[in-house]
Amino acid sequence: MPRQRLRERRSFLVLAGRLLALLVGLALAWYGLMALLLAVKVSAATTNSLSGYRTAYNWISGLTPADVDGSATRAIIAGAGVVSFLLFGYLAIKQLPRPYLARRELPLHSDPQGELRLEPRVMERLAEVAANGEAGITDARGRYSVDNLAVDVTVRRARNVAPTLKAAQDRVIGALAEHGLPSMPVNVTLSSYDRRQRRELR
């Protein structure tokens, strides 16, 4: 099992990009429908009353340089342009993915004399040994990353899977506390079933 994982840091401002994509999608669907209505010869007046496409076109095509040459108008347009540049530029930067390697050393202590760090494999082995101690589990594989400790387990019995997973999680959390390690979310995943012992008597 490759233990390293590439994760992505996400900003909540990604939602702004999603909102823009949603607006584009809605506009495309709506005006696509209007184009379809015009193509099948629904009257232009009806289509315009629904969408205002002709009104908007007439207004925009009627603009002349004199309409936008006033100093107040230009100041408003320039201000809106600058705000738009800053706002959407910042949002565009926030949309860019920022991947990082999630499996790294766990810093425990630091002072002028040195640092105390734990290799990720130590955490993983601790979790594996703790989870393997549960009776219903035949194998466990750990994967430590900066924000959680994932444990993939193999169970030997088809019954009581949920209590077995819960017990494995409790054991790993208990082992972390027992060794004085910082607590963190422990994600336990059922990854396989040991079919050699699958006989279930009813």
Q: Residue 4 or residue 55: which is nearer to other proteins going by CB?
A: 55
Q: Does residue 190 interact with other proteins by CB under 8 A?
A: yes
Task: Report the distance separating Cα 108 and Cα 85, nearest Å.
Answer: 44
Please list every residue from 14 through 53 that binds other proteins, using CB under 8 A.
14, 16-22, 24-41, 44, 53
Q: Residue 54 or residue 117: which is nearer to other proteins going by CB?
A: 54
Q: Does residue 201 interact with other proteins by CB under 8 A?
A: yes
Task: Report the distance separating Cα 114 and Cα 107, nearest Å.
Answer: 11
The C-alpha angle with vertex 32 and arms to 26 and 34, in degrees rounded to 5, equals 105
Cβ 24 to other proteins shortest distance, Å: 6
Beta pairing, strands 114-118 & 106-111: antiparallel
Please list every residue from 103 through 142 that binds other proteins, using CB under 8 A.
none
Q: Assign 145 to helix, strand or coil.
A: strand
For 6, phi then psi, to 5°, come to: -95, 120
- Sign of the C-alpha dihedral, residues 185, 190, 196, 202? positive
Q: Does residue 159 interact with other proteins by CB under 8 A?
A: yes
Piece of 66-74, 103-111, 115-123, 127-135 that binds other proteins (CB under 8 A) = 66-74
Give one word for 42, left, alpha or beta, with left for phi > 0 and alpha for psi -120 to 50.
Answer: beta
Cβ 126 to other proteins shortest distance, Å: 15
Cβ 149 to other proteins shortest distance, Å: 8
Q: Residue 132 or residue 191: which is nearer to other proteins going by CB?
A: 191
